[in-house]
């Protein structure tokens, strides 16, 4: 008996075999899908795998976010002082010019005036950046902004606990004290 497919060319036979194998695989997959749809353990395992996959993706995303923000923060810290230095550079240039000019000048008043101008320029630049000196002489001693270097006897009862002398000025950057005022307090 002769196979009815033997009359077909070889290429058509291969295509028919491939199609038949594909149909068998599809039937097996559909049968296993039906079986897995009713098997609660497989359903739970599938849900667990999906949850684990979501968790790993979320964890990876968060880890990438954390690394990126740390890198950005380090970059900001690294370049934060750049703006301040750019504002101070003209003051340094003025000091260099003043030192060169002071070599040939014999009048002390012109040197003094130049130093005052440079100081005012530096103070204005730092104030624009938020640096502010605060007064402490005559104020009640405040340990949050001042550091008592020494105590002296008070001349009047009303002067007790008040600052009578300032050794170093205190500075704030915004609301934060960046240097405590070093003061002498009456006791």
Q: 159 lies in which domain range?
A: 132-187
CA distances from 29 to 5, 33, 37, 44, 93 (A): 27, 6, 12, 19, 81
What was the pLDDT predicted at 1?
46
Within a domain: residue 77?
no
Within a domain: residue 69?
no
- Here the CATH number for the domain that contains residue 167 is 2.30.22.10
What was the pLDDT predicted at 143?
93
Rounded average pLDDT per 10-residue block, the chain, 187 residues: 50 54 54 61 93 96 96 87 86 90 85 90 90 91 94 88 93 92 94
What was the pLDDT predicted at 33?
53
Within a domain: residue 179?
yes
Name beta bridge partners: 97.
Answer: none
State if pTM tops 0.85. Answer: no
**What whole-number distance in Å separates Cα of residue 59 and Cα of residue 52?**
10
Within a domain: residue 49?
no
Q: How many structural domains does the chain have?
A: 1
Within a domain: residue 141?
yes
CA distances from 9 to 55, 83, 143 (A): 54, 82, 102
Within a domain: residue 103?
no
Within a domain: residue 42?
no
Within a domain: residue 7?
no
**What whole-number distance in Å separates Cα of residue 171 and Cα of residue 183?**
13
Query: Is 182:147 a contact under the CB 8 Å cutoff?
Result: yes
**What whole-number distance in Å separates Cα of residue 176 and Cα of residue 158?**
29
């Amino acid at each position: 008996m002769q196979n009815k497919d033997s009359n077909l060319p070889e290429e058509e036979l291969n295509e028919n075999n491939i199609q038949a194998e594909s149909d068998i695989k599809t039937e097996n997959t559909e049968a296993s899908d039906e079986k897995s749809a009713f098997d609660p353990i497989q359903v739970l395992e599938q849900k667990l795998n999906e949850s684990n996959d979501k968790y790993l993706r979320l964890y990876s995303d968060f880890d990438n976010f954390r690394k990126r923000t740390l890198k950005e923060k380090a970059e900001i810290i690294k370049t934060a002082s750049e703006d301040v230095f750019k504002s101070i550079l003209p003051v340094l240039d003025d000091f260099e010019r003043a030192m060169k000019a002071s070599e040939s000048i014999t009048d002390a008043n012109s040197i003094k005036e130049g130093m005052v101008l440079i100081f005012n320029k530096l103070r204005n630049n730092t104030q624009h950046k938020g640096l502010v000196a605060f007064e402490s002489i005559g104020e009640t001693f405040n340990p949050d902004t001042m550091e008592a270097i020494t105590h002296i006897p008070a001349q009047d009862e009303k002067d007790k606990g008040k600052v009578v002398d300032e050794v170093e000025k205190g500075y704030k950057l915004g609301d934060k004290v960046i240097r405590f005022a070093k003061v002498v307090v009456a006791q």
